Chain A
Amino acid sequence: MTGKTAKSIFWVGTLSSAIIFLWLTYDFHQQEPKFAKTDQISEQVVAGKKVWHKYNCNDCHTILGFGGYYAPDMTKAYFRLGENNIVSIVVNPEKVYKDTFRKMPNLGVTKEEAKQLVAFLRWVGTIENRRWPPQDEKFVKAFKMREASAQKLNKADITMGACGGCHSLGNRGRNIAGDFGDLALGIGYDQDKLTKFIANPQSVKAGSGMPPQAVSPETAALIAEFVLSLKTGKEVQK
């Protein structure tokens, strides 16, 4: 190979790639509204993104798969956890993760900021990113199913959809605040009291770490019935 050939390899290689790259960049911006739903970026969403940066969340959590690997990916967190759980985790991490092997710092995030964060995460969840991360797709599906055709859900689906962010049932959901199978055995409330507890735990048991759940009274009653039904199941097994 002559020096001249080498030189032309350099110029052709560099320029062709640069042109392709810049052209694709142009096209990316053209298609951005479609993929990122840019019309849904409200002031609240922008405020939430600033909160996300302010507390350096991204150095423990990944989002779109980028960032620290120390804590769960936040791309579809809105579907996985729902608004209440996000607010409660962010504002009181030391309570929510009291007994876990890994801690989340209490950074003094205010409730207001946490709500902005929720708006941001709700929007991030709608980015069309080829259904990544794979492990959260079930939460997204469950969330959308609950919204679209609630009548088709069985009680377990409804319960885990609403509570799966913090409670597990066998291999479903996340066991932060206990598995329903175990919890059911320790519940002394009747269905009415449990329904009240779900809607506003503090009103029934002061000092409870569980946040109020934004579910309708009917859904709360259904969840209470389901959880209490697990109790008999377990007792019969024993």
Chain B
Amino acid sequence: MIRYESQRVARWYLELSLVLFCLQVLLGLWLAINYAFTLPQGLVDVFSFATARAIHTNTLVAWMLLGFMGGTYFILPLECKRELFSVKIAYLQLLIFAGTAVTAVIGFLFGWTQGKPLLEIPVPLDLLIVVAALLFVANVGMTILQAKERSLIQWMLFAGVTFLSLLYLFGIPFYKNLNKDYYYWWWVIHLWVEGAWELITAAIIAFVILEVTGVERKVVEKWLYVEIGLFLFTGLVGTGHHYYWIGAPDYWLWWGGIFSALEPLPILLMVIDTWMHIKHRKNPIVNPLLWTYIMGLAIFHFFGAGIFGFIHTLPPVNYYTHGSQITVSHGHLAFFGAYALLNLVVFYYAMPQLKGIEKFNDRLGVWGFWTMVVAMVCMGLVFGVAGVLQTYLERILDIGYSTAQREMMFWFKIVIFFGVFFLGGVLLSVYHLFTLKKAEA
């Protein structure tokens, strides 16, 4: 069912990505347990919350990137109408990336860390990641250069992965000045999720929609231009919403506030155009679950990342909500809505083809989808309630951090409850993807 032999490399990327997804969620549950219960000092000394959080967030980044890379390797031959430039490079890159990720996680357990949130990987390992990224960018670039036809999607993918790799470099140096440190930390984190990653998302989704609906390429590409233009227009200056309280000039309140208030627009556009393309499709729907995921992605992306982001990036609100469980709530809803679901779209698009299945039996997958989505919405709400309560107790009533945190114990027991459901949904989906079977006629 795959049209180009080199697409097969994608399978390794996607399967490793799925394994890390499970690990990430398991660690997430462990973090919630840290909040909900008092753990013995001896345990905290050897396996601290900080270490568990480093693994939780790094496995997140790793499975996201593996999904993007695998997805890119899967769709690039189709979009370029030729084999990948080099399958060997693709495997070598995977080997380096996976080896580095495993070493990093083991290193965290022994306290080997750069000590920056989300970018804990120590410098020597960072350099290996850079090598893997260079190999990837070169492989993608060469494949595109050798293609007979040029397309917008090719270039968007290339721009996205190059931008992503370049930004990573800003997180590597040691900065003496903490506020400069965080200024550039956001060049990695914010410009990834609200810049480079959005480029990749928009390009991949445009491709999948194009392939499966059979709508005219010109129409899809036109919207892709507008969406990416708006994403970057709002997202670049929108970085300013992280600069309100780091010790930076006042104008960031205005630039950051106004531009980030516009950030939901391109996502709204994405919801509308996804919907329009589905409505005007020329091909029949073969695998409804894939469509559920595409629509789910658009809607969850809009609410979790767009609307929730909008609400708490306004400076007067952010003054109270910054650095509280509200951020946790937004972070979970946004990452799940925008990027976990994107990867799942990639998995459900590519895996059946890699296994030579046209129409797959989706019973377990449907359960997986709804369990994950409902559990994540509930978890997001509970984090949100906990965050409002924390903010109110600590920053409005001003009754101290510990008192507010004691209240968190109850709410995190509820988080654990929904987290177990979420883990169930994840395991179900991962099992389903690993054991996809043809639908019975």
**Contact string against B for A residues 3-26, beta-carbon threshold 8 Å, 1 for contact and 0 otherwise:** 100110111111011101100110
Q: A58-B115, A133-B395 are in contact. Are A9 and B229 (CB under 8 A)?
A: yes
Q: Which of B174, B178, B228, B324 contacts A36 (CB 8 A)?
A: B178
Residues of A close to B229: CB separation below 8 A? 6, 9-14
A residues 99-155 in Cβ contact with B at 8 Å = 100-107, 124, 127-130, 132-135, 138
Residues of B close to A25: CB separation below 8 A? 183
9-residue interface stretch from B78-86, B132-140, B373-381, B400-408: B400-408
Rounded to whole angstroms, the CA-CA distance of A14 and B40 in the bound complex is: 52
Residues of B close to A36: CB separation below 8 A? 177-180, 247
By beta carbon, the residue of chain A nearest B225 is: A6
Residues of A close to B230: CB separation below 8 A? 9, 13
- Name the distance in Å between A74's Cβ and chain B's nearest Cβ: 10
Q: Which of B48, B116, B252, B327 contacts A60 (CB 8 A)?
A: B48
- Name the distance in Å between A14's Cβ and chain B's nearest Cβ: 4
- Whether A73 and B323, one on each chain, are in contact in the complex, defined by CB atoms closer than 8 angstroms, is yes
Q: Does A182 touch B at the CB level, under 8 Å? A: no
Residues of A close to B239: CB separation below 8 A? 21
B residues 228-269 in Cβ contact with A at 8 Å = 228-230, 232-237, 239-240, 242-249, 251-252, 255, 259
- Name the distance in Å between A81's Cβ and chain B's nearest Cβ: 12
Rounded to whole angstroms, the CA-CA distance of A175 and B235 in the bound complex is: 43
By beta carbon, the residue of chain B nearest A59 is: B50
Rounded to whole angstroms, the CA-CA distance of A67 and B235 in the bound complex is: 21
Q: Does A236 touch B at the CB level, under 8 Å? A: no
A residues 188-207 in Cβ contact with B at 8 Å = none
Rounded to whole angstroms, the CA-CA distance of A124 and B242 in the bound complex is: 17
Q: Does B435 touch A at the CB level, under 8 Å? A: no
By beta carbon, the residue of chain B nearest A126 is: B247
9-residue interface stretch from A47-55, A208-216, A218-226, A227-235: A47-55
B residues 210-235 in Cβ contact with A at 8 Å = 218, 221-223, 225-226, 228-230, 232-235
Residues of B close to A175: CB separation below 8 A? 400, 402
9-residue interface stretch from B31-39, B64-72, B335-343: B31-39
Q: Does B185 touch A at the CB level, under 8 Å? A: yes
- Whether B50 and A68, one on each chain, are in contact in the complex, defined by CB atoms closer than 8 angstroms, is yes
- Whether A101 and B406, one on each chain, are in contact in the complex, defined by CB atoms closer than 8 angstroms, is yes
Q: Does B409 touch A at the CB level, under 8 Å? A: yes
Rounded to whole angstroms, the CA-CA distance of A134 and B320 in the bound complex is: 7
Interface size on A, residues (CB 8 A): 77
Q: Which of B38, B174, B178 contacts A64 (CB 8 A)?
A: B178
Rounded to whole angstroms, the CA-CA distance of A57 and B178 in the bound complex is: 14
Rounded to whole angstroms, the CA-CA distance of A175 and B319 in the bound complex is: 26
By beta carbon, the residue of chain B nearest A21 is: B236
Q: Does B399 touch A at the CB level, under 8 Å? A: yes
Most buried by A among B223, B394, B400: B400
- Whether B249 and A35, one on each chain, are in contact in the complex, defined by CB atoms closer than 8 angstroms, is yes
Q: Does A94 touch B at the CB level, under 8 Å? A: yes
Rounded to whole angstroms, the CA-CA distance of A173 and B399 in the bound complex is: 9
- Whether B50 and A57, one on each chain, are in contact in the complex, defined by CB atoms closer than 8 angstroms, is yes
By beta carbon, the residue of chain B nearest A103 is: B44
Chain B, interface residues (CB within 8 Å), range: 35 or more
Residues of A close to B325: CB separation below 8 A? 69
- Whether B179 and A130, one on each chain, are in contact in the complex, defined by CB atoms closer than 8 angstroms, is no
**Contact string against A for B residues 321-355, beta-carbon threshold 8 Å, 1 for contact and 0 otherwise:** 01111011000000000000000000000000000
Q: Does B362 touch A at the CB level, under 8 Å? A: no
- Name the distance in Å between B246's Cβ and chain A's nearest Cβ: 5
Q: Does B99 touch A at the CB level, under 8 Å? A: no
Q: Which of B38, B111, B240, B249 contacts A102 (CB 8 A)?
A: B38
Q: Which of A32, A55, A71 contacts B180 (CB 8 A)?
A: A32
- Whether A17 and B236, one on each chain, are in contact in the complex, defined by CB atoms closer than 8 angstroms, is yes
- Whether B44 and A104, one on each chain, are in contact in the complex, defined by CB atoms closer than 8 angstroms, is yes
- Name the distance in Å between B336's Cβ and chain A's nearest Cβ: 18
Rounded to whole angstroms, the CA-CA distance of A96 and B53 in the bound complex is: 23
Q: Does A62 touch B at the CB level, under 8 Å? A: yes
- Whether A57 and B115, one on each chain, are in contact in the complex, defined by CB atoms closer than 8 angstroms, is yes
Q: A17-B233, A56-B54, A130-B244 are in contact. Are A65 and B120 (CB under 8 A)?
A: no
Rounded to whole angstroms, the CA-CA distance of A31 and B243 in the bound complex is: 14
- Name the distance in Å between A68's Cβ and chain B's nearest Cβ: 5
Q: A14-B232, A35-B247, A101-B409 are in contact. Are A56 and B115 (CB under 8 A)?
A: yes
**Contact string against A for B residues 109-126, beta-carbon threshold 8 Å, 1 for contact and 0 otherwise:** 001011111001000000
Q: Which residues of A contact B (CB under 8 A)?
A: 1-3, 6-7, 9-14, 16-18, 20-21, 24-25, 27-29, 31-32, 35-36, 38, 41, 45-46, 49-50, 52-60, 62-73, 94, 100-107, 124, 127-130, 132-135, 138, 168, 171, 173-176
Per CB-CB distance, the 8 closest pairs between chain A and chain B, nearest first, are: A53-B115, A65-B323, A13-B233, A59-B50, A10-B229, A13-B229, A132-B245, A6-B225
16 contacts between A and B (CB under 8 A): A6-B221, A10-B226, A28-B248, A31-B248, A36-B180, A53-B114, A54-B113, A56-B50, A56-B120, A59-B117, A66-B182, A69-B328, A70-B53, A100-B402, A129-B246, A130-B244
Q: Which residues of B contact A (CB under 8 A)?
A: 34-35, 38-41, 44-45, 48-51, 53-54, 111, 113-117, 120, 174, 176-180, 182-183, 185, 218, 221-223, 225-226, 228-230, 232-237, 239-240, 242-249, 251-252, 255, 259, 319-320, 322-325, 327-328, 394-395, 398-402, 405-406, 409
